[in-house]
Structure 1
Amino acid sequence: MGGQKKEAPHTLRSIRGSKNFSENEFNKNDSIIDQIDLESDFLSLTENSENPFPFDVFPKIVQEIIFEAHNKYQFSIDYLGAGILTASSAAIGISHRVRVKKGWGEKSNLFTVIVGRPGDSKSHALNFCFKPLHIRENELFYRYEQELQNYEDSLESGKNKIKKPYLEKFLISDYTIEALILSHYYNKRGLYIYVDELHGWIKNFNRYSSSGEAEIYLSLWSGTTISTDRASGKNLRIEDPFVGVIGSTQIPVLKEFAKEGRSANGFMDRLLFVYPENQKTIKWNINKVDESILQNYFTIISNLIDLKCDQNSQTNAIPIEDSAKKYLFNWQNNRPDDYLFDYERSIEIKLQQYVIRFALILQLIHYASDKKTKNEVQLFAVKGAIKLFDYFYHNAIKVRNEITKKNYLESLTELQKNILKELPDNFTTQKGLEIACKKVDGKPRVSERQFKTYLKDRKLFKRMSHGNYKKIL
């Protein structure tokens, strides 16, 4: 017996897109352009950040969306900028890739990690950025329920001529690797792993097997063929996967990302850390985002979702325009060759590859917003991508320093930690000896020789001049 049909899900004016925007569209209203420029100037003067997110890589209409959500909800500019960049990547999927040269193509999938303290509204900011995709998924699920009901009705009637439907989706959260590959098999456009707390995602590596889940994600990031071969169940193969990752984590948990060899095998270097400085405490308010501005965002993401693939392929391969390619290659050829630490080189190489992905996303966001071409990657997109490179490189080094600091401190003995804590930031050898060698139960805690050996640890102390030291950690 067939079940009761459900009503279609509610949508906000329907996001099934067109290139039409609200009456606030920028190319029709110069006063809004001036307002966004003023917002930008105000932020640059008032935000004391060494590494601000380069929101100017986006079209003016997207900048307006970022400022509106920042002003009304107090979400971090970094979270909003990176969230919109990643949501756009999820909407684009495998529909487009960059043809750098023969045999070298780049898709737009990102592995994005939102970093912050508890209460920084990381999850709320991501939910805002991915809302258009959630709404579209609601529509797809409603259609799936109807098709599944029709399929089950046909089975009961004994006249089954309907193929069993599958659920179309963009995002996946709770899954095994086999389930991820199966879902991707039916969703050829690609999938994004959308996890509220990425700490759980990391902890679940190798949950069901010891086959090295991190290595599978390395392949998914690169877009190389993946397959499952099981004694029971269907064997699956995806020749051209598109899988991205988006989620949040707290600062003390960052060290977990580097454990079990993930710091050395390149996994860490594929993560785009969004780590804003000087986060302010969110204050409750009753402000609402202007619905016309919100609708503009929904339309942009919907336009990206509705990008069509080439008739003879799952993807459109677009070239880099000549002047843009020359600029990009000159920039890459003039990057440093030598680094103080091996991880700096590894971060650099992966982020250089990301530059091409960023450029593709920016080109298509501008296409969906202000009608720039989608048939090639232009110079403005390459320059914007390099700005994003600088932003994410700074954050990657910041995370590495954070992880190194925490891991090294944890390796110290309790006595070493206590002495380090008691020493002032700047001290003389004599003052250090007084503190370190103070008597406990009538005996010095450490000998003079032991303390002077301790002072030679260059991860903890810097010798400023003869007999004068400074704590580094």
Structure 2
Amino acid sequence: MRDTPEIETLPAHIDADEVERRARELEWSDPDELPDELPTVMAYRSELLPRSVGAAVDDIAERMQCPPDYPAASMLVAMAAVVGCRLGIRPRRYDDWLVVPNLWGCVVGRPSLKKTPATKGAERQLRHIEARAREALQSDIDDAELDAVLLPEQRKLLEQQIKAALKKGDEETARNHAAALQDLQEVQPPEPRRIIAKECSIQKLIEMLGRHPGGMMLFVDELLGWMRKLDRDDQGGVRQIYLSLWNGTEVVNDDTIGRGELTARGCVSLFGCFTPGGLTSYVSAAIRGGRGDDGLVQRLQICVWPDSPKDYKSVDRWPDNQAKIQLRETFERLADIDAQAVGELDRYDEDGIPFMRFDADAQGLFDAWDLNHQRRLRAGDLPEAFESHLSKYASMVPSIALLLHLASGDEGAVSATATQTAIRWAEYLESHAQRLYAVATSPQRQHAGPLLRRLIDWPKDKPIRTSVIAKRGWSGLASTEVVDETLALLAEAGWAQSVRVNTGGRPTTDWFVHPDAANFLQNYQRETTKTPETTPNETFGGFDGSGLVRFPDNGVCDVEVIV
């Protein structure tokens, strides 16, 4: 760490010549290169999804001019919501550990990147499944509504017949009419499947899960507001219910006074959007022991924070109709899965949920990945919050493998291709999680570069002070605390120095920027290469090829996949 000199100077009210004189007295050396504002991430690749889904993702991304990561992540979570807890997977050969493909996810980006419109394609698929279910039951619903109209009149008629029979002394006939009256029941029209739930009370959500136990999807456009609401003291019980619903197999209860007892067993998938500043501030507070430090953030497994596109072109064309048809057929296939037919149950199952297993090659792949993954988690060299996030991948990988296998239309046990691709998803998502936690634990790294570029153009006759910068309202630099931390990072890297000003009262700190900062910044930027599209592990088979899965870091084996 560099030593930043602090020298006592003359009073704070100084002229331009005095500012320049003090700047000349400072000694400077070549600054270090600033850390990346955003750590590098793997780019989304089309092979991460079956072609029947991936083609629509590519089409949406091109027409919206948004990162393909956005529609891809939303499609994956939507697929999980359709399958829900109707079908699970047992990742081990002999253990009764059951995983249902319930996923939580979010997309991160600036408001201009069309996050919400890019994820509407996934919501439309779920709306279609709901509309199709209503249409299939419409005739039965109409009949039930007619029966409901007739029911009061039927009751009146039977009551009249009972009275007439009793007047005649015909007790046997009266009893027969009374029995018929008892048999008349309130008409309950069939209820088509609901999948989507918008922001609603937890009581309403549990009530809906009781009627739709297969699982539901909660779309929250602004996740930050939703999560901060759960931070309130009066929402502690609600927060715990959501944590349980993430598991997908828990029975949850709500005993709110005035509503009676509500019980449901089901799973809730969750998806929404974050701005970078909102998410990192929330995660940063959670890491420091705030109310959010209970694993809620870490459950956002499908969290993508891609690089912002540098270019924009106007694309005005109709959507790819063939891609739309294939996507719709894929979601319909997931909705129509006969879980009892494709899954299995045995006497050790306590959840009553049919499940699938890996085939032999897929089992070897998963076992090798899981062994390496668990060793990494237990090595003790990962930040605690990041370790907690990665620990959720143990269930995420088999969940994604099951979803990809079902979406591809393959029959039999979950394939090696689907499992290999699920492992690739884990690598891809881990790089995005690394970006999130790196920025959350050191938010000043995101502001250092922009602040430095602004300070290079700072008026030479004006002292640079924290309070003045904070009042400017620059993005992410509205508080003196963040400004102080960012300036300290610049000083540590040799781009700035602080000088204590003795004003006769409370001391003030002036800041000075390296006199050759502009040249050094330009040279460093010229030498920096762009983020590669993938990690050094370049070989990937996915759904469009075959290849070798290599486990990073201190992995123990390479596994050849034959497909």
TM bracket (short chain):
0.7 to 0.9
- Please give the secondary structure, in 1, of the residue aligned with 2:230: coil
Q: Which residue of 2 aligns with 1:317?
A: 355
* CA-to-aligned-CA distance 1:248-295 (integer Å, 9 cap, x gap): 121121123554845532222111211111335765542111222211
Q: Which residue of 1 aligns with 2:440?
A: 403
Q: Which residue of 2 aligns with 1:121?
A: 114
For 1:332, which of 345, 355, 370 is the aligned residue? 370
Structure 1: gaps spanning 5 or more residues = 1-47, 452-473
1:74-223 counterparts in 2 under 5 A? Answer: 74-101=65-92, 102-140=95-133, 146=142, 149-150=145-146, 152-154=148-150, 157=153, 161=185, 162-166=187-191, 168-205=193-230, 209-223=234-248
Q: Which residue of 1 aligns with 2:417?
A: 380
8 Å contact kept, 1:363–1:378: yes
- Please give the secondary structure, in 2, of the residue aligned with 1:106: coil
Q: Which amino acid aligns with 1:399?
A: L
* CA-to-aligned-CA distance 1:103-126 (integer Å, 9 cap, x gap): 201010101011111121111111
Shift of 1:86: 1.3
Distance 1:98 1:249 in 2: 31
8 Å contact kept, 1:54–1:388: no
- Please give the secondary structure, in 2, of the residue aligned with 1:437: strand
Q: Would the alpha carbon gap of residues 135 and 425 (structure 1) be closer, same or farther in structure 2, given more than 3 Å must change?
A: same
8 Å contact kept, 2:40–2:431: no
Distance 1:61 1:430 in 2: 51
Q: Which residue of 2 aligns with 1:445?
A: 508
8 Å contact kept, 1:120–1:282: no
Q: Which amino acid aligns with 2:271?
A: I
Greater Cα offset, 332-341 or 113-122:
332-341
Question: Which TM-score applies when normalising by structure 2?
Answer: 0.62
- Please give the secondary structure, in 2, of the residue aligned with 1:105: coil
Q: Which amino acid aligns with 1:271?
A: L
Q: Which residue of 2 aligns with 1:229?
A: 255
8 Å contact kept, 2:62–2:315: no
8 Å contact kept, 1:73–1:287: no
* CA-to-aligned-CA distance 1:13-63 (integer Å, 9 cap, x gap): xxxxxxxxxxxxxxxxxxxxxxxxxxxxxxxxxxx9741124313223333
1:427-438 counterparts in 2 under 5 A? Answer: 432=497, 435-438=498-501
Shift of 1:179: 0.9
**Residue 389, structure 1, aligned to residue 426, structure 2:** yes
Distance 1:58 1:164 in 2: 38
For 1:276, which of 291, 306, 311 is the aligned residue? 306
- Please give the secondary structure, in 1, of the residue aligned with 2:337: coil
Distance 1:399 1:93 in 2: 27
Shift of 1:299: 0.7
Identity across matched positions, percent: 21
For 1:306, which of 336, 348, 363 is the aligned residue? 336
Shift of 1:386: 1.0
Shift of 1:226: 1.2
The structure with higher relative contact order (CA 8 Å, sep 6+) is: 2
Question: Which TM-score applies when normalising by structure 1?
Answer: 0.73
For 1:265, which of 278, 294, 316 is the aligned residue? 294
* CA-to-aligned-CA distance 1:153-204 (integer Å, 9 cap, x gap): 3455455642255453111012111111110110021111112221232133
Q: Which residue of 2 aligns with 1:467?
A: none
Greater Cα offset, 101-110 or 400-409:
400-409
Q: Which amino acid aligns with 1:256?
A: Y
Distance 2:222 2:492 in 1: 42
Q: Would the alpha carbon gap of residues 443 and 109 (structure 1) be closer, same or farther in structure 2, given more than 3 Å must change?
A: closer
Distance 2:439 2:325 in 1: 39
Distance 1:213 1:407 in 2: 33
Q: Would the alpha carbon gap of residues 220 and 288 (structure 1) be closer, same or farther in structure 2, given more than 3 Å must change?
A: same
Q: Which amino acid aligns with 2:120?
A: N
Q: Would the alpha carbon gap of residues 338 and 292 (structure 1) be closer, same or farther in structure 2, given more than 3 Å must change?
A: same
8 Å contact kept, 2:88–2:98: yes
For 1:248, which of 267, 273, 285 is the aligned residue? 273
8 Å contact kept, 1:119–1:282: no
Q: Would the alpha carbon gap of residues 382 and 123 (structure 1) be closer, same or farther in structure 2, given more than 3 Å must change?
A: same
Distance 2:495 2:426 in 1: 46
Q: Which amino acid aligns with 1:116?
A: G
Distance 1:79 1:203 in 2: 23
Shift of 1:413: 12
* CA-to-aligned-CA distance 1:382-408 (integer Å, 9 cap, x gap): 211111111111222211222223499
Shift of 1:377: 1.6
8 Å contact kept, 1:116–1:251: yes
Shift of 1:85: 1.1
Shift of 1:446: 5.3
Shift of 1:315: 3.6
* CA-to-aligned-CA distance 1:307-331 (integer Å, 9 cap, x gap): 1121798642111222222221122
Distance 1:276 1:294 in 2: 24
8 Å contact kept, 1:269–1:347: yes
8 Å contact kept, 2:41–2:432: no
Q: Would the alpha carbon gap of residues 276 and 308 (structure 1) be closer, same or farther in structure 2, given more than 3 Å must change?
A: same
1:47-66 counterparts in 2 under 5 A? Answer: 50-66=41-57
Q: Would the alpha carbon gap of residues 157 and 282 (structure 1) be closer, same or farther in structure 2, given more than 3 Å must change?
A: farther
Q: Would the alpha carbon gap of residues 185 and 440 (structure 1) be closer, same or farther in structure 2, given more than 3 Å must change?
A: same
Q: Which amino acid aligns with 1:402?
A: V
Larger radius of gyration: 2
Q: Give the RMSD, CA atoms, in angstroms.
A: 3.6
8 Å contact kept, 1:99–1:319: yes
Q: Which residue of 2 aligns with 1:22?
A: none
Greater Cα offset, 97-106 or 307-316:
307-316
Q: Which amino acid aligns with 1:436?
A: V
Q: Which amino acid aligns with 1:348?
A: L
